[in-house]
Structure 1
Amino acid sequence: MAYEIPVTQARAELAELINRVVYGGERVVVTRHGKPLVALVSAADLERLEGLAESEEQRTVSTVTALGSVPPGGQERQRFGIAAEHRGPEAT
């Protein structure tokens, strides 16, 4: 769980907050009017978050690529009443 602190207080205690994040392993959420504004996390946490985002992006690209390489089936066209199909430039 993250420690929450108002932005006005965070300004006055920035050095202490950095120490809590770096040495105490805490995560600090800075709020404005009670709503989360930013979060202070360690550089290691940031690397993990960025790695997760890249991993998710790669999975999405792989899934879309795999879906795009599935050849259209004739049975599905007949079943759903599809009379036309898209052919790429290489099919001409």
Structure 2
Amino acid sequence: MSYEIPVTQARAELADLINRVVYGGERVVVTRHGKPLVALVSAADLERLESESEVAEEQVISSVSSVRSFPSAPGERGRSRFGIAAEHREP
């Protein structure tokens, strides 16, 4: 569950907000002029989010590194690895 609170009110209620996050399992979004500014999450929640991010990053790296390059087909001479012709011809 997420709870929104303006930054001016959050300053006055910081201790209560910390308790809601740690013991109530809530996520608190601090806003300024109605726009999200920061979020308060428990240390355990942050650790889980960072771990998920690292796993996703490793999956992307693994996927990219498993892509194999293939030799160019005949007639594709002069093309870069992006398939762009790089041959210069005199007029």
- Asked if these proteins are the same fold (TM beyond 0.5), I'd say yes
Query: C-alpha separation between the residues in 2 aligned to 1:44 and 1:21?
Result: 11
Please list every run of at least 4 consecutive aligned residues from structure 1 whose deviation after the TM superposition is greater than 6 angstroms: none
Q: Amino acid of the residue matched to residue 26 of structure 1?
A: E
The root-mean-square deviation of aligned C-alpha atoms, in Å, is 1.7
Out of 82, 86, 89, which is 2:76 matched to?
82
TM-score by length of 1: 0.78
Query: C-alpha separation between the residues in 2 aligned to 1:11 and 1:42?
Result: 18
1:82, distance to aligned residue in structure 2 (A): 1.5
1:71, distance to aligned residue in structure 2 (A): 4.0
Which consecutive unaligned segments of at least 5 residues does structure 2 have? 81-91
Which consecutive unaligned segments of at least 5 residues does structure 1 have? 87-92
For 1:65, the equivalent position in structure 2 comes to 65
Structure richer in helix, relative to its length: 1
For 1:89, the equivalent position in structure 2 comes to none
TM-score by length of 2: 0.79
**Aligned to 2:70, what secondary structure does the other structure show?**
coil
1:60, distance to aligned residue in structure 2 (A): 1.0
Q: Amino acid of the residue matched to residue 11 of structure 1?
A: R
Query: C-alpha separation between the residues in 2 aligned to 1:73 and 1:83?
Result: 11
For 1:90, the equivalent position in structure 2 comes to none
